[in-house]
């Protein structure tokens, strides 16, 4: 596939910060960093379209004392169409870490993710928006 050459101007300070940032991230050149930034914009944009198919990871930390596992599993069963997989590890005597992988229309995936996170007893919850990768180059 051919490439398009892009040139744009930036303040020297901003360029310096960008170069520092790409070094910290482990990029070896500006082009690869820029490509990833554009892909990130694409993923973000896809999430604004309700029916667009997306993937996501929901990260949950909770105390198993709340019988929360059961509620979470019930919720996942109710929306099994969107649940790809789940992983549960016992962090210590009390705490559990769970990662639920979802795939489906952005609206449904976001709704289910937020429903899991907002359950009483969840100490930490994050919906990590991802992509099925189909539309990315
Ligand atoms: Ni556990």
Where in the chain are the domains?
12-46, 53-130
User: Domain 53-130 is classified in which CATH homologous superfamily?
Assistant: ACT-like. Chain A, domain 2 (3.30.70.1150)
Query: What is the pLDDT, as a whole number, of residue 136?
Result: 85
What pLDDT, on a 0 to 100 scale, did the predictor assign at position 128?
96
What is the C-alpha separation between 90 and 94, in angstroms, rounded?
A: 8
Q: How far is the CA of 107 from the centre of ligand 1 (A)?
A: 29
- What residues have CB less than 8 Å from 12, skipping those under 6 apart? none
Kindly give the distance from the C-alpha atom of residue 97 to the centroid of ligand 1, in angstroms, as a whole number.
7
CA of 79 to the centre of ligand 1 (A): 22
Ligand 1 centre to CA of 133 (Å) is 31
- Note the pLDDT of residue 135: 84
| CA–CA dist 45, 49 (Å, integer) | 7
CA of 136 to the centre of ligand 1 (A): 36
**Predicted confidence pLDDT, tens digits, the chain (137 residues):** 788 999 989 999 999 999 999 999 999 999 999 999 999 999 999 999 999 999 999 999 999 877 788 888 899 999 999 999 999 999 999 999 999 999 999 999 999 999 999 998 999 999 999 999 998 88
The CATH code that applies to domain 12-46 is: 1.10.1220.10
| Residue-level pLDDT at 76 | 92
The pLDDT, as a whole number, for residue 98 is: 95
Residues 54, 71: Cα–Cα separation, whole Å: 24
pLDDT score at 39: 93
Q: Distance, CA 93 to ligand 1 centroid (Å)?
A: 8
What is the distance in A from the centroid of ligand 1 to the CA of 122?
Answer: 13
How many angstroms separate the CA atoms of 107 and 94, rounded?
Answer: 33
Q: What is the pLDDT of residue 55?
A: 97
Cα of 55 from ligand 1 centre, angstroms: 24
């Amino acid at each position: 596939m051919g490439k398009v050459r892009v040139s744009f101007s930036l303040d020297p300070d901003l360029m310096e910060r960008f170069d520092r940032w790409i070094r910290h991230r482990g990029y070896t050149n500006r082009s690869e960093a820029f490509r990833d930034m554009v892909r990130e914009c694409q993923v973000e944009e896809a999430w604004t379209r309700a029916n667009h198919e997306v993937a996501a990871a929901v990260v949950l930390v909770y105390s198993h004392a709340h019988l929360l596992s059961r509620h979470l599993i019930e919720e996942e069963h109710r929306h099994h169409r969107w649940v790809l997989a789940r992983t549960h590890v016992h962090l210590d005597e009390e705490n559990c870490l769970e990662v639920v992988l979802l795939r489906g229309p952005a609206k449904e995936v976001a709704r289910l993710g937020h429903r899991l996170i907002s359950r009483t007893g969840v100490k930490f919850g994050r919906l990590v928006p991802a992509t099925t990768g189909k539309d990315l180059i």
